Amino acid sequence: MNSVVISMVVIPGVVSLLLFLVFTYLYEQSRQAYFRAWQFAWAAYSLHYVLDAFTFYRAPSPVAFFASSLFLVAMALCILVSTRLMHGPSRFFWYDAALAAAGIALISGIGSSGGFFGPTIIGFAKQRTGSDAGAFLALAGLALIGGLVCAGLRQIAVFKPKKGVIGAAPAIQGT
């Protein structure tokens, strides 16, 4: 077994299976519906990794790839349902489907842009530096800049919670 299979399929697959078992235990203890939704989500995620492992050991199959993608979408939908169930029983509204579709489209768009920009940046940096190490150092530098930008955005007043808003964190005394 090579390191790619271990790092990309086996370890995340085992973690998802363990989380499936944890949520099964939690559901059995409390009988809360949102734990059942999380249990289904982790089951779908585990099956996604089973199909990914299948494609590593067999010839790539479009059917296995499609089924794996469907399990990934099912996991996202189960997590959406679990958030709705935390406040008690809920009816399905048209905007729930719209939110799910918009979330899937957003994730797909981000993934597709990452599939374009990542190799482009690596190729550009490899040409400029002449080595793979320079290309990966450039990516590490971009990740560091992104982290600093996120930390800086947190300090901007636009992103601070307003007082009196439901769900806002309580203000610390003396500030």
Give pLDDT tens digits for 65-92.
888 888 888 888 887 777 777 666 666 6
157: which DSSP letter? G
Is the confidence at residue 111, as pLDDT, over 60? yes
Average of per-residue pLDDT across 111-124: 79
Q: Which tens digit of pLDDT belongs to each residue from 23-46? A: 777 777 777 777 788 888 888 888
What does residue 129 show for φ and ψ, rounded to 5 degrees? -95, -25
Mean pLDDT over the full length of the chain: 76
CA atoms within 13 A on the CB side of 119: 5
Is the confidence at residue 165, as pLDDT, over 60? no
- Can you tell me the distance from the alpha carbon of 93 to that of 96, in angstroms, rounded to the nearest whole number? 5
